[in-house]
Structure 1
Amino acid sequence: MLQRPPRDTRLDLLRGWLQLQIFASHAHGSLIGIWGISAAWGLSDSSEQFLFLSGFALGSVLVLKEHRAGPRAAWRDLMLRVARLWRTHLIVVCGFAALVIATEMAFRWPGEAAAMGWSWLLVEPWLALPAAAILLYQPQYMGILPVFILCMLALALLIRGMERVGAWALLPPLALYGAVQAWGWHLPGLGGTEVEFNPLAYVVVVLIPPRPMTPRAWPAQALAAAGRNSLNVFCLGLFFSYAAASLFRAFPGAVPWLDLPLVGGGALGLMAVAQAAERRRRDPALAR
């Protein structure tokens, strides 16, 4: 029987670092968000890298679960993860819509919600909410979690295919990737929005330290905590980044002075939230 390996802190550190990059890149107007992310210097952006690493980790979990408890248990575990992520997506959609509307009113930016794709939700919420539930209504900032949900489902099929036909199971996703690059295939969204369709990205794995590590310094511990609590960090980071982007837009002349306090402070805040979640997990009394 396969044994559960120890959690690889290297992946947690890398995923935590990518979460901070995602936060910075969403803070539109930030110089850090333009030049301090991997998309400015490499072939793939932080979202694609995070998706790749998450698929790598989730695939390992599914294979282990399947070998230890059987295919049904593995699928049940996956469906619970998908349901949790889907529920979180709907909560974020509603909360972010409220933030955008409040920002439009506070800064007196008429048309802000419409420009970001939220007008359908305001005019016909009885149609927009079901469309968001089936992942086809994606205003700005709302495109990442649906991609994760769909990729989680596709990953299970890919693992099952590799068990049956080996590496040949990789041909369909590779062919789809080639078609997207060659012909620009794009799925149409609902409500005047577009479905964010990101192909698999490449990760330079040689940059990962060659041996397992136990971080001791606070920055490394906080970064690893952000990687282990990536869903909460990502969702909260969306709100932080839009707030920062709104301030950059409201005070364009102060961007050089606001950039580091807002983006750097937001990154520290996200890591602090992740560490607080770690403490609650270790001490059940704190979670009450």
Structure 2
Amino acid sequence: MTKLVDKVTPQSARIASIDFWRGVYLLMIYINHVPGNPFSYLTLKNWGFADSAEPFVFVSGFSAMLAFGKYFELGGTGAGLLRTVKRAWQLFCAHVLLVFAMSAIIAFAGDYTDSKPIMEQMNFSPFFVETDTAILRLLKLGYMPNMTDILPLYIVLVFFFPLGWYLARVSSVLVLSVSAAVWLWANISGVSFNNYPEGMTWYFNPLAWQLLFVAGMVTYKERSRLSLLLRSKALLVFSIAMVLFSFLAAAPWTHFESLSSYRIIPPEVLAYDKKESLSWIRVIHFFALAFLAVRLFPAKSMLWNNRVVKIVSICGRHALPVFCVGIALSLIVHIVLQINGAGVLASGLCVLLGAGALIAMAAAFEVSKATLNKVAKPPSAPARG
């Protein structure tokens, strides 16, 4: 595998650290969606307020500037809009196919086990009981079963990108101010997008989560200036303190029965941890984590030449298929474990096998892409004597 990685990894404008961290968060998302597995205790969600969703959205904003910004810069508004609409359409198709695939998995599982609890738990009941209404709402992004929430959020953010890009071009302070105002309004008013059945809202409120997407955009635009902040000892001390406070508030040791009642920080602090509306405490914790990560592993670090890092980075370079297959795979593993009544060891083994399958799939995409690029490359003209 490592030789394969070295052979097919392109030396392009891609940023190695971005691919790696995105790959890590994709694997975390897969792991966290398999219930009862021991590896979930090692992911971000058990060690503080922010989890894998925050860095994933932030990195998406950073990557959007890298991927879409050049179309606006070089090709103008028309080319930029065409590129963003194309990407939004890809995401929409992937989202719809994912929901249909998951419904097929649940329907197939009904022949072997009682799939009704999973159906209800994951909000798939409308898909089977009110199929016409559910499909219509699905196509309007008004119905999202559990675990399918992030792609609709990303679709909205991609559509928002052109406005964000033009505001950022005027001033980074301007686009951040507008974004922060919308985030604050969403948190104070509670306004969000509707989900189905009636009374439900989007799990990731786009009006709030756009803050991290915009922050990622601005970070890319101002990366040279922001690199100076890495020298700040005050920010270093604050970030360490925030990460430590978050760790103590999350109290991961309470997962052990003998320590379940032992807390250093009162649990009332967790009331400020609201994922749907991206509460302020999650934002601060994420930026503290991001600061420490960049400080410890800068862009020129030798870490990015590590073979394991390169393997994980493959997942980051093929984020959409890895995410979709990972979600479907986590559902399959969930059902298999339910049928067999498997314990912690079996669930952990299934997670490892699934993660390996995702990496192998991403590697196959990498090889396929490298092969197609090689075929498409025109042959060099013969030398003339």
Whether 1:195 and 2:202 are equivalent positions in the alignment is yes
Verify: 1:85 aligned to 2:91, yes or no: yes
Q: 2:74 maps to which residue?
A: 68
TM-score normalized by the length of structure 2 = 0.67
**Is contact 1:104–1:112 with CA below 8 Å preserved after alignment?**
no
Alignment of 1:239-254 (within 5 A): 239-252=328-341, 254=342
Maintained 8 Å contact 1:30/1:248: no
Q: Which of 290, 293, 307 in structure 2 is aligned with 1:207?
A: 293
Q: What SS does structure 2 have at the residue aligned with 1:172?
A: helix
Are the counterparts in 2 of residues 229 and 277 from structure 1 also a CA contact under 8 Å?
yes
Unaligned runs of 5+ in 1: none
> Once the two structures are superposed, what CA deviation does each residue of 1:145-168 show, in whole Å capped at 9, x if it has no partner?
101101111222111122235422
* SS of aligned partner of 1:271: helix
Give, as a single letter, the amino acid of the residue that structure 1 aligns with 2:47.
Answer: W
Distance 1:190 1:246, change over 3 A: same
Return the offset for 1:169. 2.4
1:102 to 108, 111, 115: 108
Question: Cα offset for 1:114?
Answer: 3.4
- Structure 1 distance, partners of 2:363, 2:303, is 15
**Offset of 1:48 from its aligned partner?**
2.2
Normalising by structure 1, report the TM-score. 0.88
Match for residue 150 of structure 2 among 140, 144, 151: 144
Following superposition, the deviation at residue 111 of structure 1 comes to 4.7
- The CA distance in 2 between the partners of 1:161 and 1:286, in whole Å, is 39
- Whole-angstrom distance in 2 between the partners of 1:145 and 1:229: 15
Identity over aligned pairs, percent: 22
Contact 2:36 2:344 in 1 (8 A): no
Does residue 237 (structure 1) correspond to residue 326 (structure 2)? The answer is yes
Which of residues 352, 356, 366 is equivalent to 1:264? 352
Deviates more, 1:127-136 or 1:176-185: 176-185
Work out whether 1:173 is the aligned partner of 2:151: no
**One-letter code of the match for 1:89?**
H
CA distance in 2, matches of 1:19, 1:255: 24
Distance change (3 Å), C-alpha of 1:155 and 1:246: same
Q: CA deviation at 1:188?
A: 2.5
Displacement of 1:64 in angstroms is 2.0
Based on CA coordinates, which of the two structures has the bigger radius of gyration?
Answer: 2
Instruction: Show the counterpart of 2:310.
Output: 221
Q: Does the Cα contact within 8 Å between 1:222 and 1:272 map onto a contact in 2? A: no
* Pair 1:255-2:343 in alignment: yes
- Cα distance in 1 between the residues matched to 2:115 and 2:317: 37
Following superposition, the deviation at residue 185 of structure 1 comes to 3.8
Query: Matches of 1:18 and 1:275 in 2, distance apart?
Result: 17
Count residues in correspondence. 281
Which deviates more from structure 2 when the two are superposed, residues 76-85 or residues 194-203? 194-203
Superposition RMSD in Å? 2.4
Q: Go from structure 1 to structure 2 and tell me whether the alpha carbon gap of 1:106 and 1:197 turns closer, same or farther (over 3 Å shift).
A: same
Aligned to 1:15, the other structure's residue is in SS state helix
Deviations 1:108-128 (A, max 9, x none): 243532342222222332221
Where does structure 2 lack aligned partners over 5 or more consecutive residues?
A: 1-11, 213-282, 376-385
Runs of 4+ in 1 over 6 A off after TM superposition: none
Q: Write the letter of the residue equivalent to 2:139.
A: A
Q: Distance in 2 between matches of 1:279 and 1:189?
A: 39
Distance in 2 of aligned mates of 1:172 and 1:196: 22
Q: Distance in 2 between matches of 1:107 and 1:157?
A: 48
Relative contact order, higher structure (CA 8 A, sep 6+): 1
Match runs of 1:35-50 below 5 Å: 35-50=41-56
Residue of structure 2 equivalent to 1:280: 368
In the alignment, the residues of structure 1 paired with residue 153 and residue 373 of structure 2 have an alpha-carbon distance, to the nearest angstrom, of 35
Equivalent position SS for 1:70: helix
Q: For the residues of structure 2 that align with 1:68 and 1:285, how far apart are their CA atoms?
A: 23
- Pick one of 133, 137, 141 that aligns with 2:139: 133
